[in-house]
A and B are shown apart, each in its own frame.
Chain A
Amino acid sequence: MAMTYNEDQSMLRDSARDFMKTEAPVAHLRKYRDMDCKDGFSHDLWKQFSEMGFTGILIPEADGGLGMGHVEAGIVLEEIGRNLSPSPFLSTSVIAVEALKAADKAMRDRWFPGILAGETVIGIALEEGKKHHPEKIALKAERSGNGFKLSGAKQFVVQGSSADMLIVAARTGGAVGETDGLTLFAVEKDAAGLSLDAARTVDSAMAARVAFDGVEVNADAVIGDVDGGWAVLSKMLNAGRTGSAAEMVGVGTGAMDLTFDYLKQRKQFGRVIGEFQALQHRAAHLYGEMEMARSAVLKAQNFLDEEDPRAELYASVAKAKAGLACSLSVREGVQMHGGIGMTDEYDIGLYMKRDRALAEYMGDIYFHADRVAKLNGY
């Protein structure tokens, strides 16, 4: 697979770019933040995503979707990142779809139509601590009657309180720290014993802490195999890590473009500050870092779409490198904007906040650098 977009992919990029810029620019994020929206995103926009065909990019054609790949999903995510557009796209159309592809027909039929229509939102209930450690899942699922009873707690469930269903990673066997003995469940929002405590995060999104107090689910709520959830969870993680890295390429590039424009306009000492070599070198270095991140992400997407086992390694390379580059971009952005970069009125600060939230999502720079080392045997 070439490391360049083909004609269809270039067209998708152009339409996603146009759409996001017109329908969900940074002003859209501000509007929903300032009205203190309980969802943190617009349901109307989610429907528009559906009309554009975005919501079904990864849904197989046999299930009514477009049957496209992670390169295409990444194209949409980059534009989401560039405009800081709030949407359930990453959790619902990328990560949840990746999980549901492994589910039986009944469950696919239950959820795919709503996702395709831009009506359904799905939350990913994975994390149990403040840092990302998927193998340390402890939330207990005990056999009970015809199904299972779930007890424990999750956090950082993005848009959890707006979700129609949560995909919950639980332990049905094995010990904490083992990848065996995990099982994935589809838990509907009105299940008894489920309680959510939603809070706004630094990037104006909403994330929930979810308590499971003996939540009963039927056996048909299991996605994939009992005790064998790691196989599906790994796919979700690869998709989520690569997807959030793609969004970070968009965030970093958006911040970089704002900053470079500013360097070409702002005058001090009688000249445009972009003339100063001290700033030019930092700008050029930043550009190089963003370019490397873009390449690492595209490589991970290609490997995922080719079902190449190196996708495991490159998902981590992509998330770590995108994390490094995007963080540099927003930090340099605020610094080079000077005082006004600290004001709420200017957008650059919003990019910094979005970067911080995405940095924590499904493993930060340090988690993924560590994983790169482990996958290379050290």
Chain B
Amino acid sequence: MSELEAFRTEIRAWIEANCPPEMKTPIKSDDDTCWGGRNFVFQSEAQKQWMERCAAAGLTVPDWPKDYGGAGLSPAETKIFRQEMARAGARSPLNSFGIWMLGPALLKFGSEEQKRHYLPQIARGEIRWCQGYSEPGSGSDLVSLQTFGENKGDHWVVNGQKIWTSYADKADWIFCLVRTDKENKYQGISFLLFDMTTPGVTTKPIKLISGNSPFCETFFDNVVVPKHQIVGELNRGWDVAKYLLGHEREMISGMGGDGGTASLGGGFKDALGDEPILRAQLAMFDVESLAFRAHSERFMDEWKTGTAHPAYSNLMKYIGTELNKKRHELVMAAGGSDALEWESERSKGGKRARDWLRTKANSIEGGTSEVMLNVVAKRILDMPGA
């Protein structure tokens, strides 16, 4: 225990010495998030400094091995690092799908050469990744995807279309599910990596109900992908994808518990005098939200000790995302007509309204609530049927 406490002292001092004061203020909008990548424009010198200092110390990906750009921290040390970051109010130095999604998949399925090539670039924020999964005809039924990679000896020629590709227009590379065998449904998909500047790749942002365009349509027209850019075995990309989705669900399920220890209703205490039913709804929500916080803690404890059901993250994703949608419904209700402003400075560019609309995707992306319930019913409750 004392070793961990020594680590805490050390990491606290490191954050204190290295985190610029500007990076200890709350994030005001998406623009303040550091995504890295070839084309990323840093918002400030402080943002650049903070990312680079963390990267040099392996702390953009603290739990990855040192050889691949991480700091090699144990789970207990990583937890302490995150606690100390939160304590200092320090912003996340670097966010990316490379860190959250591709990295864990490469660590599990990648070759040694791939790990040494791609992981340090992700850790240093040099390459920004996007994820090519969904297609216009393959949403919940992802395995029906049809983007096809034709075998041409030392490379594939990829043709097809992806949709809901997050930030495809800003990404440098894509990790993409491509059908490499038309005869086998599940065992006919491969997990390929390629550069978004490869000839034949085009993107088109999709304007959403929030007015923002975080997602794109992505088109592949005779895109050449060298054979060494496959992760895992040929036609076994579905295994990689499933592993990644598990990660994504865990990540999304964390959202319902946001807000530290504060209750939602407590934030509106001065505005509820004339709103008894709204107050009651907030109280009922806080019961759920506090219960979910305890539940998340129990899930993590069970996950760590290996006693959680392997399909449990599906349940967490369902509960967490539904709760987050409810949270934003109540935030809008408590905000009244003030919360309707869409463009004013006063409303930070309509942040509340846009955030509220954004949450509607929570229970769609990464597996809909309905699909999560199917999985829970079949895999955890052992209900009969296909």
Contacts and interface: CB of A to CB of B under 8 A. Distances in A.
Given A373-B265, A378-B266, A320 B315 contact: no
Contacts of A274: 383-385
Nearest to B300: A3
Interface string A217-234: 000000000000000000
A115 interface: no
Given A280-B374, A283-B377, A373 B286 contact: yes
A3 B297 contact: yes
The prevalent SS among residues of A at the interface is helix
A277 B374 contact: yes
B55 interface: no
Given A317-B290, A321-B287, A2 B301 contact: yes
Interface in A255-292: 260, 263-264, 271-272, 274-275, 277, 280-281, 283-285, 287-288, 291-292
A199 interface: no
B284 interface: yes
Interface string B262-288: 110110110010000001101110111
Contact of A284 (B262, B279, B376): B376
A291 B377 CA distance: 14
Contacts of A368: 287
B294 A314 contact: yes
A287 B376 contact: yes
Contact of A288 (B266, B305, B315, B385): B315
A343 B157 CA distance: 66
B307 A4 contact: yes
Contacts of B305: 4
B292 interface: yes
A185 B42 CA distance: 70
Given A264-B384, A274-B383, A372 B287 contact: yes
B315 A287 contact: yes
A378 B376 contact: no
Interface stretch (A84-92, A138-146, A147-155, A293-301): A293-301
B295 to A, nearest CB: 4
B368 to A, nearest CB: 11
Contacts of B315: 284, 287-288, 291
A258 B276 CA distance: 39
Contacts of B143: none
Interface residues of A, number: 43
Interface in A358-378: 366, 368-370, 372-373, 376-378
B164 to A, nearest CB: 24
A373 B288 contact: no
Contact of B370 (A281, A287, A313, A320): A281
Contacts of A207: none
Given A284-B373, A296-B295, A378-B268, 9 more contacts: A3-B301, A275-B385, A281-B374, A281-B377, A295-B294, A296-B290, A316-B287, A318-B291, A369-B287
24 contacts: A3-B294, A3-B302, A4-B298, A4-B302, A4-B305, A280-B374, A280-B378, A284-B373, A284-B377, A285-B373, A288-B376, A291-B295, A296-B295, A298-B298, A317-B290, A317-B291, A321-B288, A369-B284, A370-B280, A372-B263, A372-B283, A378-B279, A378-B282, A378-B283
